[in-house]
Amino acid sequence: MASKRRATAAERADEALRALEQRRRGVPVADIARDMGLPLRTVQRRVALGLELLGEGLDPEELRRAEEDRLDDLLRRAHGLLDREDLTVTEQVSILRLIRDIGKDRVHLFGVAVPSKTVIEWEMRGADDAGQQTVGAP
């Protein structure tokens, strides 16, 4: 059984720059993976490597946008699957859970989740008193 040859550092760098260029043009990672003949996760790593090679690996906003795009692509694909009429109830529930999980990931990505302890303090003390508390403080 023949094993796949591992890409050289130069090949990985070339793939990284090509993947990053396409990603910046708005091409979804799944399309890049298909065009390059690479697994989705490999393309995600290549995009991160491309950012690193260009000295942009530490830009949190760029990384946040890339993750937002990835989640948007997953969400679009999940909704497309949900529109199919040949799905079983179990498959529909699985897709709905995926959509819910993507929503949770987006909330986490954008930092809009409020810790439950803060919500409880807000409700128990009232808005005026709780507003002086540090979020998530014991």
Domain boundaries, the chain: 1-58, 59-138
Which percentage of the chain shows pLDDT scores above 70? 73
| Alpha helices, DSSP H, located in the chain | 9-24, 29-36, 40-53, 60-82, 89-110, 116-125, 127-130
pLDDT at position 7, please? 80
Whether 21 contacts 43, CB under 8 Å: no
Position 133 scores a pLDDT of: 45
- Taking only the tens place, the pLDDT of each residue in 85-98 is 999 999 999 999 99
**34 or 120, higher pLDDT:** 34
